[in-house]
Amino acid sequence: MVVPPPEPPSGAKTVSADRWGVVDFLDADRKVVLRVPLAEWLPEAGLVGLIDLNPRECLDRTGMRALVADLGIPLDETASSDSLRTDTDSGSPPDRAVHRELPVWYNWVRGIGFLVWFIFLLVIPMTGNGSRWTVLTAAAGLLLVPGANLVVRCLLWSRVRKSDTSLADAEVITPSPEAGAGATYRFCDTAAIRVLPGDVVLTNTVGEERWIPRGSAHGVARVVRLLDPSSGSVLGVEFRDNRNAMRALLPWQWWFAGPQGPENWARLVGALGVPVSDEKTRGGLESGTTWQGYVMATDARKMSPMDAKEARRATGWHSSVIGSGEPIVVPIFSLLPLIGVTSSQAIGQVTGILAALTIAAELLPVLSLHLVSRVKLDRAIEPEPS
């Protein structure tokens, strides 16, 4: 088994899943049979920068080194990927151990929908063979695009509902923000720490979950309260593993500075059952800090109330999954078939109804997202009158 060093292409603008190296499982002929990108298996992969980790550290943080030791497989951290056989030329690349949220059929259905619209509304009419039936077919094809969105969102929702049962016995700690600090309903209703027998599950403001193990070399081994070096006030709470590496950062102001803060802190410490210590921070951090320049600054920001626009962008289906331009493009594509609703013929009316359904299926989720955000979720909680 080999861990090749990461080799990002020069000028690359996207972040590669292989940026911290990969673990290659080899057969007796040194052919790669399974490739494991370390970044895909690191819970805090999106919360730390490229310069803060290296492949060897990722081996420990992900638990991959311990897994290899338990399996009794030799680990070679010095070899280069140039000496490995991947058989990509023969059409059989190695399997990659990555998690994909969207099923393969989803992109196929969407692509077919756009292709049908293009052929039957543009190409065929340009040849002089267009008819009401071609427009109807184009409208039906375009409806596949938001239809696929709806189906896959329902499937993902049902999967989340089923997985909720695994958290039923967890000790749940919810935020207790400082009164009048500007905490939003979204943050208080969504963010949570769930302590399970084998894991700690951190849920941030927009519902993203991060599972960190307990009772292992790379799990939560101690809790550190970060203190302001001048005033001694508590700024945040870090979860660290046995190597003293930071795994999570919770801003004290948003989690334990409110009326239920002391009780929640005692429950968290009791549920984790690990040593707790205090440390003074370095680097000019102070009360009300934005954690700018701190290693886990992104984690602190996500485990805090977020700006309303940023929260909507992170929770919107189009903006976070498939691209924010679709709610504009697809309704525009549906305008010509929509004229059919004024037709006196049944085929034209059906065409118009399909176009109207397409427009509604694209715009209603966006409108509801903005409405709920502005009316409720992303409004600051007003402090109770004393």
Yes or no: say if 1 and 24 are a contact pair by the CB < 8 Å rule: yes
Per-residue confidence (pLDDT) for residue 13, from 0 to 100: 45
Per-residue pLDDT at 339 exceeds 80: yes
Over the stretch 282-293, which tens digit does the pLDDT of each residue have? 765 555 566 777
Average pLDDT on 320-345 reads: 88
297 and 176, same structural domain?
yes
Average pLDDT on 316-328 reads: 84
Per-residue confidence (pLDDT) for residue 290, from 0 to 100: 65
As for how many domains the chain has, the answer is: 3
Per-residue confidence (pLDDT) for residue 319, from 0 to 100: 83
Residue with tokens 């899943």: 17
Residue 148, domain extent:
104-161+311-377
Per-residue confidence (pLDDT) for residue 289, from 0 to 100: 60
Answer yes or no: is 36 within a domain: yes
Answer yes or no: is 382 within a domain: no
Cα distances from 81 to residues 23, 38, 179, 365, in angstroms, run: 10, 15, 54, 45
Per-residue pLDDT at 386 exceeds 60: no
Per-residue pLDDT at 379 exceeds 70: yes
206 and 157, same structural domain?
no
279 and 222, same structural domain?
yes
Average pLDDT on 58-77 reads: 84
Q: Which residues pair with 211 in a beta bridge?
A: 201
264 and 228, same structural domain?
yes
How far is Cα 316 from Cα 246, in angstroms, rounded to an integer? 30
293 and 234, same structural domain?
yes
302 and 340, same structural domain?
no
Per-residue pLDDT at 10 exceeds 70: no
Answer yes or no: is 17 within a domain: no
190 and 262, same structural domain?
yes
Per-residue pLDDT at 43 exceeds 60: yes
52-58 CB contacts, 8 Å cutoff, 24+ apart: 52/295, 53/20, 54/20, 55/3, 55/5, 55/6, 55/20, 55/21, 56/3, 57/245, 58/20, 58/21
How far is Cα 223 from Cα 247, in angstroms, rounded to an integer? 10
Answer yes or no: is 73 within a domain: yes
295 and 189, same structural domain?
yes
If one counts every other C-beta atom within 10 angstroms of the C-beta of residue 302, the result is 21
Per-residue confidence (pLDDT) for residue 141, from 0 to 100: 94
Answer yes or no: is 188 within a domain: yes
Answer yes or no: is 81 within a domain: yes
User: Of 306, 321, 344, which residue sits at a domain end?
Assistant: 306
User: Of 96, 122, 150, which residue sits at a domain end?
Assistant: 96
User: pLDDT higher for 58 or 366?
Assistant: 366
